[in-house]
């Protein structure tokens, strides 16, 4: 298949592009490089610099690449920032996403795999979270992703644009070539590993008074390669659908830090901070539906395996990407 990976210079998009190419697909990457890195784009992929805010640019890209499907990763994705600047999130994640959908309809590209989030669920009523759980976002980031999921339903009904929406929990880890290097790094694993590398004096723990065994937030960590494989499987789905993506287990902030200390053999100092607005205490996924319907199975089950792959990449590329 020919796939246009929108936001393919970012963390998840770059690794999905790598795996697509490894499996014999043809991939082109569309990215504005505002958050992504040019050197994170696999050299086998065609690269087009552009922004979804430019409707004519994405329209021209779809016309020239003529993909069979689109993978859509281009979004603003920081919960804390969304609480400070909701306008940015509604503009980027909804309005610019509409430009992509309208361009797809005009170009007669009728399949999209959408990068959604567990943040649509807010404070879950039960764990693990399955697809029937009520969606009640508690931050603009989650609200913007939920709004786009609703838009996808209507574009399917009206324009026959088939979609699969994958709701991520916490992606982490790396391949041998590509890893996690955000311009503003807020994710726990890379920040802990930066301390282990001596690039930061400490890692900050936001909130130690949650109703969890050790007082810190619990998240469901999934290896980035397992997540990428789910995207590729989603390309073959026969119908529009929503799937939660996680491992069904959870690790607290303190547990992640302890695992990083063990894997790296390095000292990691911590500093405790107040809670961040918009952070639920626990988020754990049920992946039963995607396992049953698409045959997805995680290859990397343990937190140690995830952290070990990330540590190898950070040691190989201690300064991240060059651009």
Apex 181 CA angle, 175 and 185, nearest 5: 135
Give the dihedral sign, CA 289/241/25/224: negative
| Cα separation, 239 vs 34, whole angstroms | 33
- The pair of structure tokens assigned to 113 is 């795999």
| Cα separation, 45 vs 67, whole angstroms | 13
Q: Can you list the alpha helix ranges (DSSP code H) found in 35-91?
A: 55-65, 79-84, 86-90
**C-alpha distances in Å from residue 7, one per residue of 16, 125, 308:** 11, 32, 26
What is the number of other CB atoms lying within 10 angstroms of the CB of residue 161? 20
- Give yes or no: 141 in active site: yes
Q: Considering 11, 141, 155, 210, which one is annotated as catalytic?
A: 141
Burial of 223 (0-12, 13-18, 19+ CB in 10 A): buried
E strands present in 216-289: 218-219, 221-223, 241-245, 251-252, 270-273, 282-283
Return the H-helix or E-strand segment holding 14: helix 11-22
What residues are paired with 171 via a beta bridge? 222
- The DSSP code for 301 is -
Q: Which residues are catalytic?
A: 141
């Amino acid at each position: 298949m020919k796939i246009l990976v929108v936001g393919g210079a970012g963390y998840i998009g770059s690794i999905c592009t790598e795996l697509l190419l490894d499996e014999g697909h043809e991939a082109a990457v569309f990215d504005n490089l505002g958050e992504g890195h040019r050197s994170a784009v696999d050299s086998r992929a065609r690269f087009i610099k552009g922004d979804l805010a430019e409707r004519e640019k994405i329209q021209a890209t779809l016309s020239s690449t003529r993909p069979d499907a689109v993978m859509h990763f281009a979004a603003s994705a920081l919960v804390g920032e969304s609480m400070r600047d909701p306008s940015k999130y509604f503009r980027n994640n909804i309005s610019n996403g509409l430009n992509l959908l309208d361009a797809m309809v005009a170009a007669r590209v009728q399949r999209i795999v959408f990068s959604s989030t567990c943040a649509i669920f807010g404070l879950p009523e039960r764990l693990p979270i399955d697809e029937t759980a009520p969606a009640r976002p508690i931050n603009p980031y989650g609200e913007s992703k939920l709004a786009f999921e609703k838009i996808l339903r209507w574009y399917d009904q009206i324009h026959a644009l088939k979609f699969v929406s994958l709701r991520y929990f916490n992606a982490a880890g790396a391949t041998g070539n590509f890893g996690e290097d955000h311009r503003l790094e807020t994710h726990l694993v890379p920040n802990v590993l930066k301390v282990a590398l001596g690039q930061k004096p400490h890692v900050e723990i936001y909130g130690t008074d949650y109703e969890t065994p050790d007082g810190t937030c619990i998240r469901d960590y999934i290896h980035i390669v397992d997540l990428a494989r789910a995207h590729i499987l989603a390309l073959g789905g026969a119908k529009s659908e929503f799937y939660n993506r996680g491992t069904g287990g959870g690790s607290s902030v303190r547990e992640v830090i302890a695992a990083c200390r063990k894997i790296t053999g390095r000292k990691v100092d911590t500093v405790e901070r107040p809670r961040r607005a918009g952070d639920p205490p626990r988020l754990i996924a049920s992946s039963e539906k995607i396992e049953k319907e698409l045959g997805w199975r995680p290859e990397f089950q343990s937190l140690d395996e995830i952290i070990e792959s990330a540590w190898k990449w950070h040691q190989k590329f201690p300064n991240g990407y060059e651009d």
